[in-house]
Amino acid sequence: MREAPTEDQAKAIERFVRDEAELEVRIDAEARATAHALIQGYCGPDHRIMSMSDFYSALVQALKEARAQGQTDASGS
């Protein structure tokens, strides 16, 4: 039978779970901000995309940067 975690181990687990939750909130907020900026930058007053090819290129670039940042965050953990 496994022993119960020590108090230090329990605190470390709680801290890890809290840090992961905070990271998810930050990632979600950054994704929303990126999407908002892309939409604001490429939509005209009539709410239509002014240049679909430019919008698509900016979206692809933002996704590549987000993926690279995610890989950096994951390797730094």
What confidence tens digit (pLDDT) does each residue in 22-54 have? 988 888 888 888 888 888 887 877 878 788 888
pLDDT of residue 3: 84
Residue 77: pLDDT over 70: no
Q: Where are the chain's structural domains? A: 7-76
The whole-angstrom separation of Cα 21 and Cα 40 is 29
Cross-strand pairs, 49: 43
